[in-house]
Amino acid sequence: MDSKPNVSERTLLLLLACVQFTHIMDFMVMMPLGPQLMRELDLNTTSFGRIISVFALAAGVVGLVMAPFADRFDRRKLLLICYSGFALGTLACGLATTPGMLMAARAMCGAFGGVSGATIMTIVADVVPPERRARGMGIIMTAFSAAAALGVPLGLKLAQWWKWEAPFLVIAGIAAAVWVLLFRVLPPVRSHLDIAGVDPRRDFLSLLKDRNAWMGISLMMICVMGHFMIIPYLSPYLVGNVGLEEKHLFLVYLVGGVVTIFTGPYVGKLADKHGRFRVFSIMIAFACCIVGHMATSGPLPLWHTLVNAALFFVFASGRFIPAQATISLAVPPSRRGAYMSLISCSRDLASGATAAIGGMIVTRTPSGTMLHFDRLGFLAISLSLVSLWIFRQVKVAE
């Protein structure tokens, strides 16, 4: 920050987690809405995959364009501008009446949401010192858990009570309220602008030549690909193959989210105390086991499905906490904004491309059964194992 902060570190992290909550809820609610969207908009798995992926692809492209300029602005102003665009895009989703309109609105959400999400992570890296970085990232990642436990089940219920558009209208309203709070509470974050003798253009070119930065980007991409090979098609798979009733779908996200609200910060503390790679390796090992089981299980009782969901959320999502902390340490502060924009861009492009590829691998029969989901599971496991090697290549630069 440019001076002594007006808010405590924890308050700032919780505020940024609220912003991230709306980002994640907006993105996550699309996936469990899959069965309803496919039915009401007459979408096949390929079309649904495109609507999922356009959010991430738009975020990736805009993030790439913005990366050279990210360190030239007060991060507070950049976040406020991009977050307002995200809120308007979410409102447009709720007002969409055709697949084309929905796709355009999702692209708008992705374009603004991607930059604001990268800015959040940059602010955390600027404000929280390295020895508490994983814990800080754990608090931000708790937004994922809260979105899963509270936001997605509420969104699904709203869609069941009214129409699929209802969750987006509610998210837009929440985002507007959070924007006002952000405007009133968040102080300027411009310490990166006070570093003397730094030419942003030359520094960005140096960043592009930095092998360590590219290893951090590669780590993010491979983690996301291992995750998003499964996530977009999990809800249709649970309904069509595992035998979960659509009315019980919200329980998967409720149980998984509630559990990770408590485990997310704890994983961050463990990573700070015992080492990020050790904790990351444990997360990967358990995640591979649960993904392999889920992708090949067949019909299961409700309680078994919910146990699987809880384990999947804890370990598959938990790996991002030590990974994100390590990634944020790979470059010095003067390059961090551009670097985190590239990280966000790579994450979004990887998730978008993976969702689209997954849509070409799996097919949905007229009865609703998903074919070849096991192939997605084995691909996800392979990518997760590769991430262990890449993690070891990322060095701390601060």
pLDDT, one tens digit for every residue, the chain (398 residues): 444 445 677 778 888 888 888 888 887 777 777 777 777 777 776 777 778 778 877 887 887 777 667 667 777 888 899 999 999 999 998 888 787 888 899 999 988 988 888 788 778 777 777 667 677 777 777 776 677 667 767 777 777 778 877 888 989 999 999 999 888 887 776 665 555 455 556 666 777 788 888 999 999 999 999 888 888 788 888 888 888 887 788 788 788 878 887 887 788 888 888 888 999 999 999 999 999 998 888 888 999 999 998 999 889 888 888 998 888 888 877 677 678 778 877 877 787 788 778 878 888 888 778 888 889 999 999 999 999 999 999 887 76
In whole angstroms, how far apart are CA 246 and each of 53, 180, 364, 388?
23, 36, 16, 36
Residue 363 DSSP one-character state: E
The CA distance from 55 to 40, in Å, is 20
Question: Residue 285 corresponds to which amino acid?
Answer: A
Question: Cβ distance 59 to 110 under 8 Å?
Answer: yes
Question: From the DSSP assignment, how many helices (H) and strands (E) are in the chain?
Answer: 17, 2
Note the CATH number of domain 9-393.
1.20.1250.20
Contact residues for 95 (Cβ-Cβ < 8 A; gap 6+) = 101, 105, 165
- Residue 338 is inside which H or E element, if any? helix 336-361
pLDDT digits (tens, 9 = 90+) for 365-392: 887 788 888 899 999 999 999 999 999 9
Question: Residue 213 corresponds to which amino acid?
Answer: A
pLDDT at site 148: 64
Q: At what angle do helices 9-28 and 152-161 cross, to 10 degrees?
A: 40
The CA distance from 90 to 106, in Å, is 7
pLDDT at site 316: 86
Residue with tokens 């609220």: 18
The CA distance from 124 to 114, in Å, is 16
pLDDT at site 145: 67
Question: Cβ distance 396 to 267 under 8 Å?
Answer: no
Question: Cβ distance 121 to 68 under 8 Å?
Answer: no
173 by DSSP, 3-state: which?
A: helix
pLDDT at site 306: 92
Q: Which of 32, 235, 7, 70 is nearest to 152 (CA)?
A: 32
The CA distance from 99 to 102, in Å, is 5
CB atoms within 10 A of CB 282: 17
Q: Where are the alpha helices (DSSP H) in the chain?
A: 9-28, 34-40, 45-66, 75-95, 99-127, 133-146, 152-161, 166-185, 200-208, 211-228, 234-237, 249-274, 276-296, 302-318, 320-328, 336-361, 373-393
Contact residues for 4 (Cβ-Cβ < 8 A; gap 6+) = none
Tokens of 271: 């990573």
pLDDT at site 251: 85
Q: Which of 270, 254, 265, 233 is nearest to 370 (CA)?
A: 233
The CA distance from 395 to 153, in Å, is 39
3 by DSSP, 3-state: which?
A: coil
pLDDT at site 264: 76
- pTM for the full predicted model: 0.71
298 by DSSP, 3-state: which?
A: coil
Q: Which of 155, 355, 149, 154 is nearest to 252 (CA)?
A: 149
Tokens of 239: 């309904």
- Residue 213 is inside which H or E element, if any? helix 211-228
